[in-house]
């Protein structure tokens, strides 16, 4: 489990000042309600570092507990973790053998009663919040899955006006309601020339095919895995100029000079040459991989857990299969111009379930 504690890092990643992105100035506003977030100084070592010695016994507990909570540690894991925890309490000397001063205790982290969400978010943002472990959190008609450390994630739609309302019911039955303001963004109109007319106004048989294909992609986005891959700091899948922004209102210009308004751009386009390798922006499980969809051509979906997913379109090649686990920065595909595309580029879309979010905000 090399990503030990990533979830915990993520919830502490709210930056101290508003983050204004260099690209468009529409970064997620990250002021937080509470300025006093306890920051356990977890040593960020892998499982290797947590083997054996009393010096590192506490991260082992953490590791085991996380496994147990995610259902990945086998049946004996919770018992083992509990036994270790009891041992630690009963024989505190074990923990005193550390050369470094012991970190703030695990129990402090678990007993954390803070609720931390940004005050303000942008349309299209991915929002990570923190609640006491054991809480029940509802937002937009969903009960949000909690990480073992009490982090939750959700997406803010392009047209969301806000304020958002999040209901938190703590383990002791007390309830809190969090309200988050949504900062509106400008959505420019973008005219696109050179798209084949048949892909803009497809004949009925093609329209039916498009619907069937899109339904299959939509279906994989209902997945709600316990994996916390979305807590990684996302990286660019490749380097390149942004040639199309998330949310822009698109009008496809036909050779006869007429314009057909289409739905808003669902992701971010990055200009790149045919065949440029595409890297996984964060780890995940491949949930869709097909080379020949009518509109989107080579199409790959990677699920990052808790309903967060990435999709890559117009690919010329896909290097992973459905069910594969991919790690961050692993090459998963190559850039192409398949489907409704005017030239080679990477379209990177992101979702929180059916809600489309802006990859650029996730990168910031």
Please give the residue ranges that form the binding site for Zn ion (CB under 5 A). 269, 347
- Closest to Zn ion by CB, 132 vs 297, is 297
What is the nearest approach in angstroms of Zn ion to the Cβ of residue 288? 17
Residue 148 or 297: the one with the smaller Cβ distance to Zn ion is 297
Q: Please, which residue, 8 or 269, has the CB nearer to Zn ion?
A: 269
- Closest approach, Cβ 112 to Zn ion, in A, equals 40
- Shortest distance, CB of residue 52 to Zn ion, whole angstroms? 50
Contact 166, 178 (CB under 8 A): yes
| Nearer CB in complex with Zn ion: 24/78 | 24
Torsion of Cα atoms, 91 then 97 then 101 then 106, to 10°: -40
Nearer to Zn ion, 3 or 347 (CB): 347
- Three-state SS string over the chain comes to CCCCCHHHHHHCCCCCCCCCCCCCCCCCCCCECCCCCCCCCCCCCCHHHHCCCHHHHHHHHHHHHHHHHHCCCCCHHHHHHHHHHHHHHHCCHHHHCCCCCCCCCHHHHHCCCCCECECEEECCCEEEEECCCCCEEEECCEEECCCCCCEEEEECCCCCCCCEEEEEECCCCCEEEEEEEEECCCCCEEEEECCCHHHHCCCHHHHHHHHHHHHHHHHHCCCCCCCCHHHCCCCCCCCCCEEECCCCEEEEECCCCCEEEECCCCEEEEECCCCCEEECCCCEEEEEEEEEECCCEEEEEEECCCCEEEEEEEECEECCCCCCEECCCCEEEECECCCCCCCCEEEEEEEECCEEECHHHHHC
- By beta-carbon distance, which residue lies closest to Zn ion? 347
How many CB atoms lie under 10 A from the CB of residue 346?
25
* Least distance CB 349 / Zn ion (angstroms): 7
2, 10, 212, 278, 279 from 138: Cα distances, Å? 30, 20, 31, 35, 33
Given the complex with Zn ion, which of 158 and 347 has the nearer CB atom? 347
* Nearest distance from C-beta of residue 242 to Zn ion, angstroms: 10
What's the closest the beta carbon of residue 318 comes to Zn ion, in angstroms? 17
CB of 269 to Zn ion, least distance (A): 4
Q: Smallest gap, in angstroms, from Cβ of residue 259 to Zn ion?
A: 18
Nearer of residues 221 and 347 to Zn ion, judged by Cβ: 347
By C-beta, is 185 or 347 nearer to Zn ion?
Answer: 347
**Least distance CB 23 / Zn ion (angstroms):** 16
By C-beta, is 155 or 359 nearer to Zn ion?
359
Distance between CA atoms of residues 328 and 323, nearest Å: 16
């Amino acid at each position: 489990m090399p990503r030990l504690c990533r979830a915990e890092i993520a919830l502490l990643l709210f930056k101290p000042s508003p983050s204004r992105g260099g690209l468009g100035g529409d970064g997620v506003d990250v002021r937080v309600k509470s300025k006093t977030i306890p920051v356990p100084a977890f040593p960020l070592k892998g499982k290797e570092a947590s083997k054996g010695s009393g010096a590192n016994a506490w991260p082992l507990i953490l590791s085991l507990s996380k496994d147990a909570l995610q259902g990945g540690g086998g049946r004996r894991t919770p018992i083992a973790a509990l036994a270790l925890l009891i041992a630690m309490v009963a024989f505190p000397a074990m923990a005193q053998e550390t050369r470094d001063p012991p970190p703030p205790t695990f129990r402090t982290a678990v007993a954390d009663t803070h609720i931390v969400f940004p005050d303000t978010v942008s349309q299209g943002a991915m929002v990570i919040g923190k609640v006491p472990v054991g809480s029940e959190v509802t937002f937009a008609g969903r009960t949000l899955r909690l990480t073992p450390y009490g982090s939750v994630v959700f997406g803010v739609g392009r047209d969301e006006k806000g304020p958002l309302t999040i209901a938190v019911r703590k383990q002791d039955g007390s309830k809190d309601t969090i309200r988050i303001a949504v900062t509106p963004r400008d959505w420019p109109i973008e005219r696109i020339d050179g798209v084949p007319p048949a892909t803009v106004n497809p004949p009925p048989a093609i329209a039916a095919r498009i619907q069937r294909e899109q339904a299959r992609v939509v279906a994989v986005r209902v997945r709600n895995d316990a994996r916390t891959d979305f807590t990684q700091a996302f990286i660019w899948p490749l380097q390149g100029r942004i040639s199309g922004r998330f949310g822009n209102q698109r009008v496809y210009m036909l050779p006869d000079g007429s314009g057909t308004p289409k739905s808003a751009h669902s992701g971010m386009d990055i200009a790149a040459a045919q065949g440029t390798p595409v890297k996984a922006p964060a780890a995940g499980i491949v949930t869709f991989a097909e080379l020949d969809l009518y509109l989107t051509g080579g199409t790959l979906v990677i699920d990052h857990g808790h309903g967060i997913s990435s999709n890559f379109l117009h690919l010329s090649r896909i290097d992973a299969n459905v069910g594969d686990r991919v790690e961050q920065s692993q090459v998963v595909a190559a850039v192409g111009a398949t489907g409704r595309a005017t030239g080679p580029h990477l379209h990177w879309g992101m979702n929180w379930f059916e809600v489309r979010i802006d990859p650029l905000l996730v990168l910031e």
